[in-house]
Amino acid sequence: MILVTDVGNTNMTMGVYEGEELRATFRIMTKTPRTSDEYGILITQLLTSKGIDVASLEGSIIASVVPDVMHSLTGGIVRYTKTTPLIVGPGVKTGIKIVTEDPRAIGADRIVDAVAAYEKYGGPVLVIDFGTATTYDLITEDGKFAAGITAPGIRISSEALWKQTAKLPNVEIKKPKSILAQETISSMQAGLMYGQIGQTEYIIKKVKEESGIQNLKVVATGGLGRTISDETDTIDIYDSSLTLDGLRIIYEKNRRA
């Protein structure tokens, strides 16, 4: 079994694979400062609660967009799982060729999503990750990471509304009964949700138009991905485990290499 970890700006999502089967998943808050021992003990306890014997782990892999936590997190995994994590970055075999102007600037999470989408669904494919940021990444038919678009995520937009205004509250992010809102909370929900849906549909349209790829498969993932996917027919597939699957695939590629 292997331990896979996706370190995002808000949460770390972890999973345990036995072969291609995802045996367990759990989340840890990224912004809470922890020592390597705290990470190790917490991970060990979470694995045990899921019925996973830590001694059965053969390897581990991490993709991170938060450099500050890596020393403690990696140390905790090494000390408590007795595995040395493969860190997704330059030099790691992925099977995806990045042809953007600055390949090193592409986040590890986006590379992992691209690998998973291309391996699972083929190319050309547009991968949309509805996370802290909403990202759109274009992978060509021959496996090239050709372009990426980055927009504020729904939660960032929501926080900006209530933190930067005197009277607007923090609201639950969900679709209201109608876009024709008649009070503050539903008016904010309407703007956030329908704004995101409209952005998604327009960006997909423009990517197809400018790339000239009309047979583009669109795959979404991320915490709010299902909510948006259910509201538009421009998204073909919602895959909640896309990032974790990508980590497993990259780990296997490098183990074979």
Residue 170 CA to residue 187 CA, distance in Å, equals 12
Task: Quick: pLDDT tens for 53-72.
Answer: 999 999 999 999 999 999 99
pLDDT score recorded for residue 183: 93
Using CA atoms in the order 35, 36, 37, 41, what is the torsion angle rounded to 10 degrees?
110
Is residue 109 annotated as part of the catalytic site, yes or no?
yes
Domains and CATH numbers, the chain: 2-87 (3.30.420.40), 97-240 (3.30.420.40)
Of 6, 53, 102, 109, which residue is the catalytic one?
109
What sign does the CA torsion over 123, 124, 130, 132 have? positive
- Residue 23: its pLDDT value, please? 96
Partnered with residue 135 across adjacent β-strands are 129, 150
Q: How far apart are CA 231 and CA 20, in angstroms?
A: 30
Mean pLDDT of 99-112: 90
Q: Cα–Cα distance between 188 and 17 in angstroms, integer?
A: 40
Helix axes 70-81, 36-49, angle to 10 degrees: 50
Alpha-carbon gap, residue 201 to 205, rounded angstroms: 6
Residue 70 has what pLDDT? 97
pLDDT tens digit string along 11-54?
Answer: 999 999 999 999 999 999 998 999 999 999 999 999 999 999 99
- Predicted model pTM: 0.93
212, with CB counted inside 10 A (0-12, 13-18, 19+), is exposed
Residue 7 — pLDDT band, cuts 50, 70, 90? very high
Q: pLDDT per residue over 140-159, tens digit each?
A: 999 999 999 999 999 899 99
Residue 179: both structure tokens together: 């876009």
